[in-house]
Chain A
């Protein structure tokens, strides 16, 4: 697209040497990302796969007993996987409606002055370190959950009380943490909808709400789906915040059970795990990585589709 520069200063040979070097250096820089992803993939498989075959694929992926430190250890991670899936799904179910409605507020409903308050607030929410969410969840959400738990299970003999550190707390924290992602992406996709659609709908007599929900949101569909997929990625990969609030015991993911996610299993056990136990933790990492890669592939498909729609 751009021709090679010719200069009157310096010899052509010297110049072209510099130019070629610069080009190679820039190329190498850009290949770093490729190398990084390649080596992450290789090392995740390399450190995560051996345990699958040592324990047995079925035993590890569909086993329900997680007793890595007992005399006869068993490494079933089914509950951990289920917790991550259910926890993420619930967080999306709660977070996405709130997020999309806030995006609608910012893009269509809000008076400029209100939008000027809400928008920066959302941006700031995105920047708050996850440990802070964890700390606040632990000190505010968990006591509330505990009261709820005492009230619901007051007659139950079988329920193991968790002190409020349960799946529900984790879901709420996750739902809050995906809000900024969902809001930002949905808002920009709503704003990207061509104005003529809105005008046409309003001119046909549709009310503002009808226009938003029957014209604008469908038109911004691919953006909203992208937002959801990104939210899933963020929720399933979140570690530190939910480590503090989820109770960290491997149980079937019921709302008031203390649970362990893929991420929190790694965080809470990597510090002392050894040998096969450690390798199984890497397998958990590998499972998480596979989930993330699937999400990424969906995302790049979606983004490509979005681009071809724009053209």
Chain B
């Protein structure tokens, strides 16, 4: 370092260029990694995906390889999980934001929500397998998988709804209450509609989580890949069914890399769409969302 450095001369420090280099390199790594993943998967998977792949189930008799069953299973799991988790998650957020007074109960609820968000999916899988599968007796079924995932995405929905409720100005509440609305009426007609973009963001993030989930489903929803029989759509929820991710894992471990890349591409496209949807929502409704 120059001891007689003048305040007019700009010092150049070689070491700083290295640090800048490291910073740019790190950022470039993260970005190029994504580009690489997308290009590689698209390149390998594009050849596999065709109409037959998407609309048939794998069958040695008919010589078809397809993932229609897995797509349907994924839809089942997404719908059932959201049907259970969204009311509970939103209700919980409403309680925490609108009813609860700061105190022990709130602390416990917030701590457990935090904890639930930190538990790895494999633990949910073990718990789901024992509790929903064996104690309640649902076995390997789509319902077991959905109930397990419900626990997993609950914090995501609660957190996003809370975030959205916080951005609703207090004047809305006071206005509604001042005009004589009951609290429940106020929540139903003012708060929830105002918080809707945040709730939907939470739902989309949850769908992304569910679609990408594998460890929690392997031992709860099982790995069935058949389409539901005609007229047994409802009964299907008590049968085993592997989602796209599960099928992809199984195909990979059986070294059927073509199928795996086909599914990987489908999953990537889904993830991209979800991501764009959340972006769109955040932009158009100006929800300040923090993760």
**Interface of A with B (CB < 8 Å)?**
1-9, 15, 18-19, 22-23, 25-34, 36-40, 43-44, 47, 97-99, 101-102, 104-106, 109-110, 114, 117-118, 120-125, 127-132, 134-136, 138-140, 176, 179, 183-184, 188, 205, 207, 209, 213, 230, 233-234, 236-240, 243-244, 263, 266-267, 270-271, 282, 285, 288-289, 292-293, 295-296, 299-300, 303
Q: Are A131 and B248 neighbours in the complex by a CB distance under 8 Å?
A: yes
Question: Chain B residues with Cβ under 8 A from A1's Cβ?
Answer: 101
- Complex-state Cα separation, A179 to B37, whole angstroms: 15
Whether, in the assembled complex, B76 has its beta carbon less than 8 Å from a beta carbon of chain A, the answer is no
Question: Chain B residues with Cβ under 8 A from A40's Cβ?
Answer: 119, 123-124, 127, 151
Whether, in the assembled complex, B53 has its beta carbon less than 8 Å from a beta carbon of chain A, the answer is no
Shortest CB-to-CB span from B77 to chain A, Å, is 14
Question: Chain A residues with Cβ under 8 A from B131's Cβ?
Answer: 39, 43
Whether, in the assembled complex, B245 has its beta carbon less than 8 Å from a beta carbon of chain A, the answer is yes
- Complex-state Cα separation, A166 to B219, whole angstroms: 25
A-B contact count (CB 8 A): 273
Q: Are B218 and A293 neighbours in the complex by a CB distance under 8 Å?
A: no
Whether, in the assembled complex, B275 has its beta carbon less than 8 Å from a beta carbon of chain A, the answer is yes
The interface size of chain B toward A, counting residues with CB under 8 Å, comes to 96
Q: Which of A33, A188, A303 contacts B158 (CB 8 A)?
A: A33
A23 and B245 contact, Cβ closer than 8 Å, known pairs A128-B212, A292-B118: no
A101 and B120 contact, Cβ closer than 8 Å, known pairs A34-B112, A136-B37: no
- Complex-state Cα separation, A40 to B115, whole angstroms: 11
Question: Chain A residues with Cβ under 8 A from B113's Cβ?
Answer: 33
A19 and B180 contact, Cβ closer than 8 Å, known pairs A30-B95, A104-B23: no
Question: Chain A residues with Cβ under 8 A from B114's Cβ?
Answer: 296, 299-300, 303
Q: Are A5 and B182 neighbours in the complex by a CB distance under 8 Å?
A: yes
Question: Chain B residues with Cβ under 8 A from A188's Cβ?
Answer: 290
Q: Are B91 and A25 neighbours in the complex by a CB distance under 8 Å?
A: yes
- Chain B residue with minimal CB distance to A104? B23
Q: Are B40 and A136 neighbours in the complex by a CB distance under 8 Å?
A: yes
Q: Are A127 and B212 neighbours in the complex by a CB distance under 8 Å?
A: yes
- Chain A residue with minimal CB distance to B113? A33
Question: Chain B residues with Cβ under 8 A from A132's Cβ?
Answer: 37, 41, 248, 264, 267-268
